[in-house]
Amino acid sequence: MAKFIAQRFVEAIPVVLLASLLVFAILHLIPGDPVDAMMGAAAFGVGTPEQRIALAEQIRDDLGLNDPLAIQYVRWLGNAVRGDLGQSYIQHQAVTKLILDRLPSTLELAGAAMLLSIVLGMSLGVIAAVKRSSPIDAAVMLFSLGGVSIPSFAFAILMILIFSVTLGLVPATGSGSFDRLILPALVLGYEGTGLIARLTRASLLEVMGLEYIRTARGKGLHPRTILRRHALRNALVPIVTIVGLQVGRLLAGSVIVETVFARQGIGQLAINAILAKDYPVVQGVILLTAVSYLVANLLVDVSYGYLNPKIRSA
Amino acid sequence: MPLVSAVVADRRPLPALPRPAGPYRRAWWRFRRDRLAMGALALFALLAVVSFLGPLVIAIDPYQQDLRGSLLAPGDAGHLLGTDNFGRDVLLRLVDGGRVSMTVGLAAVSVSLAIGGLIGLFAGYFGGWTDRILMRIIDVKLAFPGILLALVIVTVLGSGLEKVMIAVGIGGIPRFARVVRGSVLNTKGELYVEAARSIGASDRRIMFVHLVPQVLGPVITIGTFGLATAILSTASLSFLGLGAQPPTAEWGLMLSEARRFIRIAWWLAVFPGLAIMLAVLTVNVIGDAVRDALDPRLQTAGD
């Protein structure tokens, strides 16, 4: 088992390196100079043009922007590994601090959405599989198709319209309290709920057709026991995969959901940084997302081995 | 030949031999029986016709402002879906937005198909190091889930619809590359490929003449799903302010602008939202049916 984990870990390293290289390239392949952006209007009109050029050159030297790209990359990566993601051009703060300040809000949202999609998605999937080909089944399938077809921002606005504007049940925007978490979590979790429901249903139906389930039925076990103790356990492997993939979706989806609900989270930090061309922040957020996504998938791979001993030895 | 003529003494014309139906004809036959999918296809065709031909038929300009007739509720003064804050007709803007969404969506899918298809073809056909290097590059996409890669690319390119087209297109490359590679791996060992090689066909000829037709089926399926994703991503990026810029009539942008008026003009948010939903849902339903029709073996239990 330890060997299996180690192997998966080693395999993930080149992907992380390539991803970080891509993220790094963003900053350095973009036309335009970060120093000009940093000096911005503040430096405008101060001193003679020659002095300004000299100052810009001085800053470039200080920041190491005149070094070869390869050296800059290694240095950036080295700092990133130690938790230093550089300085924001616009907010004049450490990127790490900006991210850490907003991380709890996003984790809260993503966690609530994940919990919702697992609990609701699996329940709906099991119900649909048990009541196969009934109107209930059709309703669940339609609901889950909506999850991948309804854009989160449209769904969010619809929710705000119904529950905040018309019914006045919950606040439309902001973060920090439970009633402000309900709508965003619902919106962010819908896509995952649909996917998990669909997959649970398909996976369960496949398992239910296998011989050992027939055996269990043959020896007179209660259908509920068969479902819980025999079928659901083996149906779990594909569900765990999609849960792992959800981590990435949730982080990417939070960009939109946080924008609509005006939540101070990582997603909103990223979108504002993109709009303001604050590249170190963009770099930092994307690197964080990429790494957490890969780690989540690593955990999923490891849990396969735990759920299914056959995979471990293969 | 007396014997034969005795048997066929009856000179009536024989019933026409049923032409051996090709795989696509059979797929279409299966597709046609799926009533939901046929409904979706009809709806999509309607949407396409209205979006592309509508502006030619209707003389009113979707950008025509009328500040005295602003924020009219649906049905008021001949505006079926109401007007926005500039007095522009919402229905006309939706129609115009449909054209934008479909054009950008199709263009993005074409980008993914062209690049992803070639990568998959080369990786699958040549194997070895070519395969390993190409597929590792594709793997990097794994680290950028959902809309994130498009965000990164738009950061580099700047905002605007053409850039969104490229960004969304690049985001779709891995899916095409993987599927094409998989099909090529399955097919390149077939006897007919070996036969082609033995009579001296070049690699290029084998790839494009003999292998490409074999991968077409799965490509059509993911192309359909890809269109749904592309429409959705385009609208999302526009919603975030990175895609279409005002005054373009684009569904995501319209929704974004509607947020300011949500308390007084619900129709500005609801109709563009419904339009995106309907378009994406329709394409997804068609995609489901296309997958089942092209490869019935793939059908999962009960689906």
pLDDT tens-digit readout, B36-60: 888 888 888 888 888 777 767 666 6
**In the predicted model, what is the mean pLDDT of residues B152-162?**
80
Q: CB–CB of A161 and B255 under 8 A?
A: no
Residues from chain B contacting residue A165 (CB–CB below 8 Å)? 262-263, 266
Other beta carbons within 10 angstroms of residue A26's beta carbon come to: 16
Total tally of structural domains belonging to chain B:
1
Domain assignment of residue A278, yes or no: no
Q: Which residues of B touch A18 (CB under 8 A)?
A: 136-137, 139-140, 143
- For residue A153, the enclosing domain spans 103-265
Q: How far B79 CA sits from the closest chain A CA (Å)? A: 22
Instruction: Note whether A99 contacts B: Cβ–Cβ < 8 A.
Output: no
Which CATH number do you get for residue B152? 1.10.3720.10
Verify whether the Cβ–Cβ distance B145 to A249 is below 8 Å: yes
Q: Which of A154, A201, A205 sits opposite B273 (nearest CB)?
A: A154
Domain membership flag for residue A299: no
In a domain, A178, yes or no: yes
- Of A144-148, B24-28, B191-195, the range with the highest mean pLDDT is B191-195
| Residue B262 maps to a domain | yes
Q: Are A254 and A265 in contact (CB under 8 A)?
A: yes
Give the long-range contacts of residues A231-236, CB within 8 A, separation 24 or more.
A231/A204, A231/A207, A232/A126, A232/A204, A234/A207, A234/A210, A235/A200, A235/A203, A235/A204, A235/A206, A235/A207, A236/A203, A236/A307
Predicted pLDDT of residue A36? 65
Asked if A239 contacts A303 with a C-beta cutoff of 8 angstroms, the reply is: no
Please give the mean pLDDT across all residues of chain A.
80
Please report, for residues A12, A19, A32, A118, B142, the alpha-carbon distance to residue A16 in angstroms, rounded to integers and kept in the order given: 6, 5, 27, 27, 10
The pLDDT score that the predictor gives to residue A141 is 86
**By C-alpha distance, which of A201, A208, A186, A232 is closest to A139?**
A201
Residue A286 lies inside a defined structural domain of this protein: no
- A307 is a domain residue: no
Q: What is the reported pTM?
A: 0.80
**Does A57 score more than 70 pLDDT?**
yes
More confident residue, A169 or B201: B201
* Domain-located, residue B62: no
Q: Is B191 left (phi over 0), alpha (psi -120 to 50) or beta?
A: alpha
Structure tokens at A283: 């770099």
Residue for token pair 């995969």: A241
Name which of B152, B238, B251, B281 to mutate to probe chain A: the one with the most chain A Cβ atoms within 10 A of its Cβ. B152
B29 is a domain residue: no
Does residue B106 belong to any structural domain of this protein? Answer: yes
The answer to whether the beta carbons of residues A145 and A220 sit under 8 Å apart is no
Distance, CA of A203 to CA of A183 (rounded, Å): 30
Would you say residue A9 lies in a domain?
no
CB B219 within 8 A of CB B176: yes
Residue B76 lies in a domain: no
Contacts of A99 (CB under 8 A, 6+ apart): A85, A266, A269, A284, A285, A288
Q: How confident is the model at residue B79 (pLDDT cuts 50, 70, 90)?
A: low
pLDDT tens-digit readout, A232-279: 877 887 788 778 778 878 888 888 888 888 888 888 888 888 777 777
ipTM score for this prediction: 0.76
Q: Is A286 on the interface with B (CB under 8 A)?
A: yes
**Phi, psi at B83, each rounded to 5°:** -130, 160
- Alpha carbon distance A171, A157 (integer Å): 13
Residues on chain B touching A155 (C-beta within 8 angstroms): 273
Nearest to B273 among A132, A158, A205 (CB): A158
Residue B110: pLDDT over 90: yes
Residue A190 has pLDDT above 70, yes or no: yes
Predicted local distance difference test score (pLDDT) of residue A120: 92
Query: B277–A154: do the CB atoms touch at under 8 Å?
Result: yes
Q: Which residues of B touch A248 (CB under 8 A)?
A: 145-146, 148
Q: What's the gap in Å between the CA of B234 and the closest CA on chain A?
A: 11
Q: Structurally, how many domains does chain A consist of?
A: 1
How crowded is residue A83: how many other Cβ atoms within 10 Å of its Cβ? Answer: 9
* The pair of three-digit structure tokens given for residue B301, joined into one six-digit string: 């239990």
Residue B114 maps to a domain: yes
> Is B280–A151 a contact, with Cβ atoms under 8 angstroms apart?
yes
Query: A19 and chain B: CB distance < 8 Å anywhere?
Result: yes
Q: Of the candidates B251, B257, B256, B258, which has an alpha carbon nearest to the alpha carbon of residue B235? A: B251
CA of B200 vs chain A CAs: smallest distance (Å):
39
Q: Do A252 and B146 touch (CB under 8 A)?
A: yes
Residue A311 lies in a domain: no
Residue B20 belongs to some domain of the structure: no
Confidence of residue A40 (pLDDT cuts 50, 70, 90): low
Average pLDDT in chain B: 79
Has residue B189 been placed in a domain?
yes
Is residue A92 a part of any domain in this protein?
A: no
Picking from B104, B227, B121, B226, the residue whose alpha carbon sits closest to that of residue B166 is B104
| Chain A: closest CA distance from residue B72 (Å) | 18
Q: Per-residue pLDDT for B300 more than 50?
A: no
Q: Which domain holds residue B97?
A: 81-295
Contact by Cβ (8 Å): B108, B168: yes
Q: Which residues of B touch A293 (CB under 8 A)?
A: 142-143, 145
- Using CA atoms, how far apart are residues B259 and B270, in angstroms rounded to an integer? 11
Distances (CA, A) of A138 to A128, A145, B73, B284: 8, 10, 35, 16
